[in-house]
Chain A
């Protein structure tokens, strides 16, 4: 036995010694291609999970040495899971970021600046306008790479709406038109005229922009509008619709989880306020033809801005940043990948990709692209990261909006509460 072991060992040693030099070289190159595993996390609904997995498979085929472990959740759950991971310094290598959270994560040193990867060409930005990249920048450093452009919109079930009203709203409609249509749908069909106009922050911000104001001031230290009357008008309109029964109660939509259970999908309302990219998921769930129209004006020109709402960020704790950057580049610049993605995370920011995938788009998807292009050509203003404390302000707004719609407080009381609360949060954190 001992003899056998000895002879085997010596044989191994001889073999090793014989090819020592060659081995070293091989070792170096194989180390470079050493199998790495990176984790990636995103939020979304089922259609997004499905195609993202396909993209991941495609990526793994192209880069066989990189293995990707996905983690995904609904929006609400996603952030609740991410926070403890961040605190434990165990963030996934790639995290999908939203403008609302970007600053909180980047200012706390949890995200990697992507500029070096762009400079080195790992992430190729040749076909991407500098303006779009601004959305992922905080204090000059690139913490999030935008995945697509989105614009606030109203998704309309044209058939359902036309069965209740005579003339379909044109793109320059006004808030008065909106109110009339919503009430009329309820009167004729007995269903809601619209969804609950959530998320409140998104569409209240839109409303403020149409009036030339903003939700936050430029430095992020307080609210960006002076007159509470704007707040009051916005919520009084919702209250009037609610009283008629044309607007869903606040709790009603809270119970809904997943787009397939949404009001529009189930023909319980012909209009739903959303981001343009949500149109694709919703029309897939509804399985019928839907339309995309701009929210009411006047002031749509100022109100509609491009929001690069989803970003991929690389966590500071990641051990395979290079591989993570490769994946981001693949996601942004690979034609095949984008033929699978089809702009579901927003219209691709790379102009080449946007052109090249047009032939695989369905009518629905083309609608979204057209809608976003129209805004992009009119007013290519890109939204930036929300100030620190934005998460809390948005939650406060949601809370106050619920209280108003439950008639616990009046809109003018709500306006005051929001101003005091939001200003105190913002001035404290910025």
Chain B
């Protein structure tokens, strides 16, 4: 094969290798694939294949040890017709999500607005408020929460000091669930940071114009801040809803893995864990995971479909 030479310009008499366009594209692509391969391999091996495996296992009686046997829809049928604890866990989780997420977002927004001032100490406060989230879903926070509100925890000691009768914070099922919800509200930091970024993005001129027109603070909040922030609110709502559905650690730690008292803190993931790793019904647990995926999927779709009524995008002319 003769080596082609670029003609026309005698000075540039450089031989180049003949590479067909196709093989060059492949080569370029290969480089690209090589660069993303760490993620792709990790994703396939540790996420995608396990997900598919769990779909298969959800139709079996897999018990962690013995080879799974196909049992069709039995797990799903049992879940919906023969397992009162499943419904209890679903109920608890829905309360946790529908009470916890709005509260957490409202709280995060409140703090974000407080921190969105030009004070000098703001940096310090921002870090301080973010601290609980930094140690986020960790075991330590849950243990601390349990001890702070335990029967002989610091809260009860303080109550006793000022002569108020002590409260069994984790004593009754409803109260215990609310303790979990408050714990999640307290860990508002990540949503707060996102809100803060959103607030910084609202042009000052809007507020100035509103002030000139004589709008008060409340009006400014509802007419400017909320609409301008709505894309961020949408993002936070979706992310937090998904995260709330998957909450496991605090419920596990605070109830000592039982979901008690009286299954009051039996969050969906915790019940899934109990079924899988305590009762060895891994097939059933896989089925539960898939139903959760579907529920979360539907909920997210609903949030997105309503978003056109309340989310305003600047780029679309405020629509």
Instruction: Give me the interface of A with B, judged by CB distance under 8 Å.
Output: 76-77, 79-80, 83-84, 86-87, 104, 108-110, 249-252, 254-255, 257, 391-392, 395, 399, 402-403, 406, 408, 417, 424
Q: Give 1 or 0 for each of B193-214: 1 = CB within 8 Å of chain A CB.
A: 0000000000000000000000
Cβ contact within 8 Å between A108 and B262: no
Which of B65, B85, B151 touches A110 (beta carbons < 8 Å)? B65
For the complex, is B258 an interface residue (Cβ under 8 Å from A)?
yes
Name 9 A/B residue pairs within 8 A (Cβ), A-sorted: A79-B278, A80-B278, A87-B64, A104-B280, A250-B261, A251-B172, A255-B150, A402-B262, A406-B262
Kindly state whether residue B227 has any CB partner on chain A within 8 Å: no
In the complex, which residues of chain A have a beta carbon less than 8 angstroms from the beta carbon of B63?
108
Which of chain B's residues has its CB closest to A257's CB? B256
In the complex formed, the residue of A with least CB distance to B276 is A83
Whether the pair B256, A254 counts as a contact (CB closer than 8 A) is yes
Known contacts A83-B280, A104-B280: does B257 contact A76 (CB below 8 Å)? Answer: yes
A391 to B278, Cβ gap below 8 A?
yes
Whether A424 pairs with B278 at a CB distance below 8 angstroms is no
Min C-beta distance of B99 to chain A, whole Å: 21
Contacts of A250 on B, CB cut-off 8 Å?
261-262
Shortest Cβ distance from B74 into A: residue: A428
Residue of chain A at shortest CB distance from B171: A251
Taking a contact as CB atoms under 8 Å apart, the answer to whether B262 and A252 are in contact is: no
Interface centre among A83, A392, A403, A424 (most CB of B within 10 A): A83
For A81, give the chain B residue with the smallest CB separation.
B277
Q: Interface on chain A toward B: helix, strand, loop, or mixed SS?
A: helix
Q: Report A168 CB to chain B, min CB distance, Å.
A: 32
Closest A residue to B263 by CB, please name it.
A399
In the bound complex, residues from chain A placing their C-beta under 8 Å from that of B65 are 86-87, 108-110
User: Are the CB atoms of A84 and B277 closer together than 8 Å?
Assistant: yes
Distance (whole angstroms) from the CB of B281 to the closest CB of chain A: 8
Closest 7 CB pairs of A and B: A108-B65, A251-B261, A87-B64, A83-B277, A392-B279, A251-B171, A406-B262
Whether A255 and B170, one on each chain, are in contact in the complex, defined by CB atoms closer than 8 angstroms, is yes
A-chain residues with CB within 8 Å of residue B279 when the two chains form the complex: 391-392, 395
A84 to B173, CA, bound (A): 29
Chain B hits for A109, CB < 8 A: 65-66
Given contact pairs A84-B277, A395-B274, enumerate 13 new A-B contacts (beta carbons under 8 Å): A80-B278, A86-B65, A108-B63, A249-B171, A251-B170, A252-B168, A255-B150, A255-B151, A255-B171, A395-B278, A399-B263, A406-B173, A417-B84
Q: Mark each residue of chain B from 140 to 171: 1 if its CB lies under 8 Å from any CB of chain A, else 0.
A: 00000000001100000000000000001011
Contact indicator B262/A403 (Cβ below 8 Å): yes
In Å, the complex CA distance between A77 and B63 comes to 19
Known: A86-B64, A108-B66, A424-B82. A408 touches B262 (CB 8 A): yes
Q: Give how many B residues have a beta carbon under 8 Å from the other chain's beta carbons.
A: 27
Given contacts A108-B66, A255-B150, contact A83 B261 (CB under 8 A): no
Asked if B260 lies at the interface with its beta carbon under 8 angstroms from chain A, I say: yes
Contacts of B278 in A (CB 8 A): 79-80, 83, 391, 395
* CA gap between A429 and B257 in the complex, in Å: 24
Complex alpha-carbon distance, A87 and B273, angstroms:
14
A250 and B262 CA atoms in complex are apart in Å by 9
- Contact call A80/B172, Cβ cutoff below 8 A: no
For the complex, give the distance between the alpha carbons of A424 and B257 in Å.
Answer: 24
Q: Is the CB of B260 within 8 A of A251?
A: yes
Contacts of B274 in A (CB 8 A): 395
User: In the complex, what distance in Å separates the CA atom of A406 from the CA atom of B63?
Assistant: 33
Chain B, residue nearest A255 (CB): B151
Please report the C-alpha to C-alpha distance between residue A104 and residue B172 in the assembled complex, in whole angstroms. 33
| Alpha-carbon distance A77/B66, docked complex (angstroms) | 23
Contact of B261 among A76, A104, A254, A257 (CB under 8 A): A254
A76 touches B256 (CB 8 A): yes
Cβ–Cβ < 8 Å partners of B84 in chain A: 417
Contact A402 B257 (CB under 8 A): no
Bound form: Cα–Cα A84–B273 in Å:
11
Partner of B260, one of A83, A391, A402, A424: A402
Residue from the list B66, B168, B257 in contact with A251, Cβ < 8 A: B168
Interfacial chain B residues near A424, Cβ < 8 Å: 82
Chain B residues with Cβ below 8 Å from A255 are 150-151, 170-171
Give complex CA distance A108, B263 in Å: 30
Per the bound structure, the CA–CA distance linking A257 and B152 in Å amounts to 13
Closest B residue to A251 by beta carbon equals: B261
CB distance from A420 to the nearest CB of B (A): 9
- Residues in A with CB closer than 8 Å to B151 are 255
Residues of chain A contacted by B85 (CB below 8 angstroms): 399
Q: Which of B85, B278, B280 is most buried by chain A, counting CB atoms within 10 A of its CB?
A: B280
Provide the residues of chain B in CB contact with A399, threshold 8 Å: 85, 263
Q: Give the residue name and chain of the A residue nearest to B66 (CB).
A: A108
Min Cβ gap A79→B in Å is 7
Given the complex, which residues of A lie within 8 Å of B64, measured CB to CB? Answer: 83, 86-87, 108
Which residue on A lies nearest to B61, using beta carbons?
A428
**Nearest CB in chain A: distance from B91 CB, A:** 13
Determine which residue in B150, B262, B281 has the highest number of CB atoms from chain A within 10 A of its CB, and name it. B262
How distant is B271 from chain A, measured CB to nearest CB, in Å?
11
Give chain B residues whose Cβ lies under 8 Å from the Cβ of A76.
Answer: 256-258
Inter-chain contacts of A417 with B (CB < 8 A): 84
- Minimum C-beta distance from A121 to chain B (A): 31
A29 vs B280: C-alpha distance in the bound complex, in angstroms? 44
Q: Which residues of B contact A249 (CB under 8 A)?
A: 171
Given the known interface contacts A79-B278, A84-B277, A403-B262, the answer about A252 and B66 at a Cβ–Cβ threshold of 8 Å is no
Alpha-carbon distance A340/B279, docked complex (angstroms): 35
Within the assembled complex, what's the spacing in Å between the Cα atoms of A257 and B281? 27
Residue of chain A at shortest CB distance from B168: A251
Residues of B close to A84: CB separation below 8 A = 277
Interfacial residues of chain B within 41-74, with CB under 8 A of chain A in the complex: 63-66
